Amino acid sequence: DIVMTQSPDSLAVSLGARATITCKSSQSVLKSSDKKNYLAWYQQKPGQPPKLLFYWASTRESGVPARFSGSGSGTDFTLTISRLQAEDVAVYYCHQYYSTPWAFGQGTKVEIK
Amino acid sequence: QITLKESGPTLVKPTQTLTLTCTFSGFSLSTPGVGVAWIRQPPGKALEWLTLIYWDDDKRYRPSLESRITIVKDTSKNHVVLVMTNMDPVDTATYYCAHVPPGRGENFFDSWGQGTLVTVSS
C-alpha cells in the first residue's frame, strides 16, 4: 500500500503570507504510460466535506483561486497558498489515486498567526 | 450541477449491519467512466477511502475491509448503497459519498455529499 505523509501537521501563517504544505508518497505516483502524477489535493473547512483543489498534482479545479498552486512529481508534492486569506483556514489533504487502496495524507491544519 | 446526499441510521449497535444510501443528481451512473465512492472520517481524524463502484458495475474495495463491505448501485433510482457488517465502535465516523469523474484513471473525488455521522455504541 502507498502511504502518504504530510508535513507539517499544522502551521500558523500571517494573513497575506505564504503557506507551504508538503506531501510525500512512499512510492512514486507518476505513471510512465501517461506521464501523469496521480495526486490530488483537498481543502476541508470545519463542519464541511472536503473540496477538490487540484488533480494530476497541478491542475487547478474550476473556481479555485489562483493564490493556490500545486506542484511536484514522483514522490514529493507541494501545495502553496501564496497570500493567505482568512477564508483559507482549513485542513488540507493530499490523496494518491495511483493504486488501490487509494490513500489520503493525515492532513495539515492551516491557521492564522 | 452535481449533488450527492447520504442517508441512513445515525446510531448502530456493535455487531449490527450498517446500510447507507447515497442519492445523487446531476450525473448518471450509466455514463462511461463515472463512479461513486464512499469515504469515511472518524471524528478529528483523517479521511479513509472505503469502496468505489463504476458505471459498468466494476467495484473496488479497501482490502482491510473487503470482507465486511458491499457496494451496489441502482442506476434507475440514482442510488448507491454501502453495506457494512459487524459494526464496531472504531467504525464511528462521518461517512461521505463522492463523485468520480469520467476519464481513464481519474479516480479523484470532485463532488462530495455533506456526510452523515454514524455512531457505533450499545
| A vs B: CB pairs below 8 A | 55
Nearest Cα residue to A93 out of A110, A111, A72: A110
At residue B8, the pLDDT reads: 97
* pLDDT above 90: percentage of residues in chain A: 100
- How does pLDDT run across B100-115, given as a tens digit for each residue? 999 867 899 999 999 9
* Average model confidence (pLDDT) across chain B: 96
Q: Flag if A101 and B64 touch (Cβ within 8 Å).
A: yes
Nearest 5°: phi and psi at A87?
-75, -5
Residues in chain B with CB shorter than 8 Å from the CB of A93 are 46-47
Beta bridge partners of residue B117, listed in sequence order = B94
- With a CB cutoff of 8 Å and minimum separation 6, the contacts of A39 are A23, A25, A29, A54, A55, A56, A57, A72, A77, A94, A95, A96, A97, A98
How far apart (Å, rounded) are the C-alpha atoms in residues B31 and B1?
15
Q: Which of B62, B108, B114 sits opposite A55 (nearest CB)?
A: B108
pLDDT of residue B105: 77
Closest Cβ opposite residue A106 in set B46, B111, B112: B46
Task: Give me the residues of B, 52-71, that contact A with CB < 8 A.
Answer: 60, 62-64
Measured CA to CA in angstroms, residue B10 lies from B92, B94, B108 at distances of 10, 10, 27
